[in-house]
Amino acid sequence: MKFLEQPPHFLFFTGKGGVGKTSIACATAIELAAQGRRVLLVSTDPASNVGQVFGIEIGNRVTPIPAVPNLAALEIDPQAAAQAYRDRIVGPVRGLLPDDVVRGIEEQLSGACTTEIAAFDEFTALLVDSSLTADYEHIIFDTAPTGHTIRLLQLPGAWSGFLEEGKGDASCLGPLAGLEKQRSQYKAAVDALADPQRTRLVLVARAQQATLREVARTHEELAAIGLTRQYLVINGVLPAEEAAQDALAKAIFDREQVALAAIPPVLASLPCDILALKPFNLVGLDALRSLFTDVAADAAQDSAAPYLDAPSLATLVDGIAADGHGLVMLMGKGGVGKTTIAAAIAVELAHRGLPVHLTTSDPAAHLSETLDGSLENLTVSRIDPHAETERYREQVLKTKGAQLDAQGRALLEEDLRSPCTEEIAVFQAFSRIIREAGKKFVVMDTAPTGHTLLLLDATGAYHREIARQMGNKGMHFTTPMMQLQDPKQTKVLITTLAETTPVLEAANLQADLRRAGIAPWAWVINNSVAAARPHSPLLRRRACNELIEIEAVASRHAIRYAVVPMLKEEPIGVERLLELANQGQTTQGV
């Protein structure tokens, strides 16, 4: 493994949920410990399952791993860290400021930025206080801070003063209110991150074109702020020998090889390791010790064929179509196939003779090109996130920014580069289309997160302002936020994969939405191997593992759900999307 050659003191693993960074971080820790190195494994992932991987309870304390000499682990609970962080900031003003102002501050501190910064706050000491890590030769972090968080922490300035003067009601400055006292410590931590002699950053990806493009953006963002020494690990690549087993395995193998051949140039220059897909869950020491080997353990051992009895996407469409019109929103983390599922639902509704407007903010416009004018009753629009974000930034700088001094304007400009800004800008563009849902179906892809919706509602950016203006005139009105909260007008479908981390992230998204007063209508489990009835021994073993997650969704998380099988061919074009929507309507033997 290239990323394991002459490892520095700190190793950070970063990547989207479900790519396997926790497994790789754990396997790295075991490998280094086996070489006699003293290792501390630290997780800051909200969906951390490090304790589950090792089969012991770890928690927020350094815990030796009994079965692995020289290895200890620590799980920083980002949610608990974020709550303690919020209490530190909000506590002093509670009772002094009006309740609605306090609620606004709390909401501003409820999102992903606060959680990430609070977690960074927790593990910063490990980067800069040598006395805490003197017993360890290597500190391995499962999940690195994003470039946006690091860039915020690099900014100069009195955050607290900026906020106290009432200027800082934007999306991501709020979480920084309590950081000023420790700014020198954060500077030292960022310096440690940027020092290749001390730190190695490992980007973890899958062999998928969309995922690799996302990782390329992460690479460039981190390199731009000084974290240039990066390694790439492409995880879970189907072995060539499996491609001969059945048509599905061959299709997966061919797709992955095409993605690898078209890897973005900025990634092609990085030191790269490719890890083969394993047939087993990476839980337990034996499994983790096999991760870096070329032999897929027990791959030849066939599994008992599981039976999957699950509703199809067409079953959900039946329930959607019964209303005759309405808003259908697809939500979920990146890489789970929201765009494809949105298009399949839109095509199936249109195929049934119902008028449909499919709108997406997906930068890859191939669906628009494929569908435009190709099916009666269906119109397609694509919102350009970059153009909408620029328009929104200019509007905010022209209004709010005009009242700020140079320092305040610089802070506002930085905040407007946050992920929240793009979500708000795209949501405003979507809002112009939402009104059509009173007469037809509007299927919306790439929806804003629960936190962004809460932020829009709590800060009065749109919803409260409209309510104030219209309420004063005694007029009946419906804002987009009210429409999203009305189950008669809006159906939210959460899209996920039948894997541990994506399901956990989807459950967290559902909790966020419920806090915003939005009750998800259904879950869609996409790209299921179990629903595809593979013959490949490796894929059959993977299918058995999926059943656990599908059962968790069916019994614990979703009111209603559907399972969409992995297809041999990419679901692009009307015919393939119709095929996708109607797959798996009966009990299937895998």
Contact 9, 199 (CB under 8 A): yes
CA geometry: angle 244, 249, 255, nearest 5 deg: 115
Report which residue type is found at 273: D
Element (H, E) at 199: strand 199-206
DSSP 8-state class, residue 583: T
Residue 183: is it exposed, middle or buried by C-beta count within 10 angstroms (0-12/13-18/19+)? middle
DSSP 8-state class, residue 202: E
- List C-alpha distances in Å: 368 to 326, 338, 344: 21, 14, 13
Closest among 26, 222, 216 to 140, alpha carbons compared: 26
HEC assignment per residue over 456-524? HHHHCCCHHHHHHHHHHCCCCCCCHHHHHHCCCCEEEEEEEECCHHHHHHHHHHHHHHHHCCCCCCEEE
Residue where the block lists tokens 């289309």: 433
Beta pairing class for 307-308 and 326-331: unpaired
Orientation of helix 183-194 relative to helix 147-154, angle to 10°: 130
- List C-alpha distances in Å: 166 to 95, 107, 159, 163, 499: 18, 16, 11, 5, 44
Phi, psi of 245 (to 5 degrees): -80, -40
**What is the secondary structure of 105-129 as a DSSP string?**
HHHHTSSHHHHHHHHHHHHHHHHH-
Active site amino acids: 18, 20-23, 45, 501
DSSP 8-state class, residue 590: -
Closest among 427, 522, 543, 414 to 479, alpha carbons compared: 427
The partner residues of 276 in beta bridges, in order of sequence, read: 237
Neighbours of 335 (CB within 10 A): 19
Question: Coil, strand, or helix at residue 376?
Answer: coil
**Structure tokens given for 108:** 């501003």
**Residue 281: HSE in the Cβ half-sphere, 13 Å Cα cutoff:** 17
DSSP 8-state class, residue 270: S
Report which residue type is found at 468: R
Rounded Cα gap, residues 418 and 296, in angstroms: 41
Number of alpha helices (DSSP H) and beta strands (DSSP E) in the chain: 25, 17
